A = this chain, B = another copy of it.
Amino acid sequence: MVQIEEDILGKNNQYAAANRQWFAEHRMLVLNLVSSPGSGKTTLLTRSIDDLQQELNLAVIEGDQQTSNDAARIRATGVKALQINTGKGCHLDAHMVGHALETLQPDNNSVLFIENVGNLVCPAAFDLGEAHKVAILSVTEGEDKPIKYPDMFHAADLMLLNKIDLLPYLDFDVEQCIRYARQVNPGIKILQVSATTGEGMDDWYQWIKAAQMLAAIGQ
């Protein structure tokens, strides 16, 4: 069983390396958005696209077990979007993403958002070739999630603490949540946002723009 798992991950890492080389050569910024179901990923993404698409060249890959509802929501913003249905699979893998790129054909210097299947376990182990995993945690989920799902928060470079407009109505300790996140990942960056009210979203946009600048420089 362990052997099979290692073989699958080894194969995935080869495809991820090929994707990463392709992204580097095309000077693209690729963000892998991971979270539990209902954290507000798609709402956050559609708002981000609305606010950024005048400035940045954007594209989206949507991962879901079934339905293409999310890709339809994204396409309504006017941005290129492709849905991958994973069927029984609980995560995207690098091979699926490689195939999606052939169809999607994102532009050089663009920003590609990959919205992974809502799941705090499986997507942590599967590198897609992205520059950064971005973990979205909503304050309705409880502050202990980083230590309950340490692999995911260890793998992420940025945590977006979402739905902060609901903090007044919840018993959620923001500082404790941040301490937990740093416990599993000392260098993780943390931004507090509400995709509904827009609070804190400018910091997220600045972060994306800086990361895109970084990705666009060099051979």
A186 in complex: contacting residue of B17, B178, B207, B218, CB < 8 Å:
B17
A92–B211 Cα distance when bound, in Å, is 28
- The chain B residue sitting closest to A27, CB to CB, is B189
How many monomers of this protein are in the complex?
2
Interface membership of A198, Cβ < 8 A:
no
Name the distance in Å between A20's Cβ and chain B's nearest Cβ: 4
Name the distance in Å between A117's Cβ and chain B's nearest Cβ: 23
Contact B214 A191 (CB under 8 A): no
Contact A189 B217 (CB under 8 A): yes
A219–B21 Cα distance when bound, in Å, is 30
Dominant secondary structure at the A interface:
helix
A188–B17 Cα distance when bound, in Å, is 11
A210 in complex: contacting residue of B129, B186, B214, CB < 8 Å:
B214
Q: Which of A6-50 contact B (CB under 8 A)?
A: 17-18, 20-21, 23-24
Task: Give per-residue flags for A199-211: 1 if the beta carbon is below 8 A from chain B beta carbons, else 0.
Answer: 0000100110111
Chain B residues contacting A158 (CB-CB under 8 Å) are: 218
A-B contact pairs, 5 of them (CB 8 A): A18-B186, A158-B218, A207-B214, A210-B213, A210-B217
16 more CB-based (< 8 A) A-B contacts, given A18-B186, A190-B219, A211-B214: A17-B187, A21-B186, A24-B182, A24-B188, A129-B187, A131-B187, A158-B218, A190-B218, A191-B219, A203-B218, A207-B214, A210-B210, A210-B211, A210-B217, A213-B213, A214-B214
